[in-house]
Structure 1
Amino acid sequence: MNNLFLKTVAIVLFFVARVNTSNAQQLPSAKLQSNPWTKNQLMEPSVLAKMIEKGQKIRIYNIGVVEDIKGATHLGAASEKQNVEKLSKVLKGLPKNETIVVYCGCCPMDKCPNIRPAFKALNDQKFTKAYLLNLTVNLKTEWINKGYPLAQPVK
């Protein structure tokens, strides 16, 4: 009887541990839902590269600590309050239908401390064509290594 009780407890503990593990694995996707951008506001690097190549009117803001994409204005890490304020000031005088892309690319997007405060600033000012460059890994992997244009070539 004692052996049956121990087996039952072991099975219950096994299932409780599995439920807790599966819940823990769902946390990142729940975290993604709290992002200030929508899926439609993510711009693929190839799309931005083509827009730059064609000379389309677009404002690009580097809100991180990485290299500048061709045509980008470097504002510094948006994890620092003064840099978010700098972004807000720059945006204040622009038409709300201006095409704006912000990017960081220092690390994977789910860990980046800069993109959320910067994109929130875009949303707060109600821009209708605001985009986040979809750099899921980093700028080096998804922009530089693909030969997309930089302000100055990496040496």
Structure 2
Amino acid sequence: MKNLLFKTIAILSFLIANANFSKGQQIPSAQLQSNPWTKAQLMEPSVLANMIEKGQKIRIYNIGVVEDIKGATHLGAASEKLNVEKLSKVLKGLPKNEVIVVYCGCCPMDKCPNIRPAFQVLKDQKFTKAYLLNLTVNLKTEWISKGYPLATSVK
């Protein structure tokens, strides 16, 4: 009987300890959010840099608080409602098949507060060639350090 009681207490202790542990491990809210873009809508930095170099027609919007890529329109952090509205207004009237790239690069994409609201605007307005610049780490690491073109020189 003592052995059964000991086993029961041990099992209950294990379950309680694991329940408390799992409560402490929370998934970051950015990971819980579903992304409004598809994998095919992620544009690699080298692809955009090549398009800029070749002078291809492309609209680039900086929806963060980082440096401007050459040719980008700086709209400000899309985590702020005013800037999302600004993006929406800028996009109205553009042809739906226009190539549009948005980017932030302030932090890793899974934590970025700006890219999801901005890309949702593109999705809601039904742009067929909408892309998110695939900056998994940040703009400095994946654009600036590679010498890709900026609007102005970085000091």
Query: Which residue is equivalent to 2:132?
Result: 132
Distance 1:87 1:30 in 2: 24
Distance 1:12 1:121 in 2: 45
Q: Give the partner amino acid of 1:9.
A: L
Deviation at 1:17, TM superposition (A): 6.2
Moved more, 58-67 or 76-85: 76-85
Distance 1:152 1:28 in 2: 34
Query: Which residue is equivalent to 1:5?
Result: 8
Query: What do residues 25-48 of structure 1 show as CA deviations (whole Å, max 9, x unaligned)?
Result: 77779625x111111111111111
Query: Which residue is equivalent to 2:32?
Result: 31
Identity %: 75
RMSD between superposed Cα atoms in Å: 2.3
- TM-score, with normalisation over the residues of structure 1? 0.87
Structure 1 runs of 4+ with >2 Å offset:
2-18, 24-32
Classify the secondary structure of the residue corresponding to 1:118: helix
Comparing both structures, which one devotes a greater share of its residues to helix? 1
Gaps (5+ residues) in structure 2?
none
- TM-score, with normalisation over the residues of structure 2? 0.87
Query: Which residue is equivalent to 2:153?
Result: 153
Query: Which residue is equivalent to 2:101?
Result: 101
Q: How many residues align?
A: 152
Query: Which residue is equivalent to 1:81?
Result: 81
